[in-house]
Amino acid sequence: MKLKRFVSIPVLSVITLVGFVYYMTVFVFIEDWIGLQSSAGFLNSLIFTALASLCVFSFLVCVLADPGGVPSGFLPDVEESYASDQEIKRNGVVPRKCDKCSSYKPPRAHHCRVCRRCVLRMDHHCTWISNCVGQRNYKPFLLLVFYATAATTYSAAIIISCIIKDWDTGASSTSKTFRIGIGSWITALSLTLGSFLIWNIYLASHNMTTIEYHEGKRAAWLARKSGLSYHHPYDVGFYKNATLVLGSNMLKWLWPTATSHIKDGLSFPTTRESS
């Protein structure tokens, strides 16, 4: 079932794109710039290959990993269910029932119309990985964006260096046009991915999903109208937010499958509990 996710145009497009960028960077631009047989050429190709490999590995983990589904027969905590409205709002744990699944869902879980199920700590459904981004695969997704940004930025730097060399050696106008075109495209790709990376770092640093960001904007607007202030209930501080996503061991932060720290996704620390 999971392997069927690879038989989709977006996923195959990503694989093709990675292959194209890798080929152009290593076998066209590095080879033309300093040559793959030179020590500098070998080193640059080795660094780029490492970044591209980590990007592909993160992509495969994102596609194959289960984002986390709500256990069958899940019921909210009885004490939480009978808590007062004020306590519920402070804790951010409102007992909710899914209209589609007709069952209770934990805090931060949402129903995905594409996957046809409720996903734990759902961030969004990503077409490019043909999978939801949720509790169990958010870390590899964040690392996928990180390594993709690093790889395309490195590629853009190599291509720009090659373009400068072309001008110095008086290359043909056709060669210059080709290199400028590829360089502009990969630079634009790296900037786009970089912007997306900054956005996801912002969300992770506030322990917030994309869905919660948009819900929070409305909650903040309603709070201002009432003369109150709104604070995201799951934002428990920058460092703790980071460890909840990446883990407490910093040596494993950049490894996509180091996810043993991830909890069951049925409950989460809140601001009140951390204070």
Residues of the chain by 3-state class (helix, strand, coil), percent to 5 = 60, 5, 35
Within its chain, how far is the Cα of 74 from the centroid?
28
Tokens in use for 238?
């920058």
Three-state DSSP class for residue 197: helix
Cβ neighbours for 96, distance < 8 A, ≥ 6 positions apart: 104, 105
CB 102 within 8 A of CB 74: no
- Helical (H) or strand (E) element with 96: strand 96-97
Strands 124-126 and 117-119: unpaired
- Active site residue: 62, 112, 126, 132, which one? 126
State how far the Cα of 4 lies from the Cα of 135, in Å rounded to an integer.
Answer: 22
Q: Residue 126 catalytic?
A: yes
Three-state DSSP class for residue 159: helix
Nearest 5°: the CA angle 254, 256, 262 is: 100
Eight-state DSSP code of residue 26: I
End-to-end CA distance of the chain: 44
Q: What residues are annotated to the active site?
A: 126
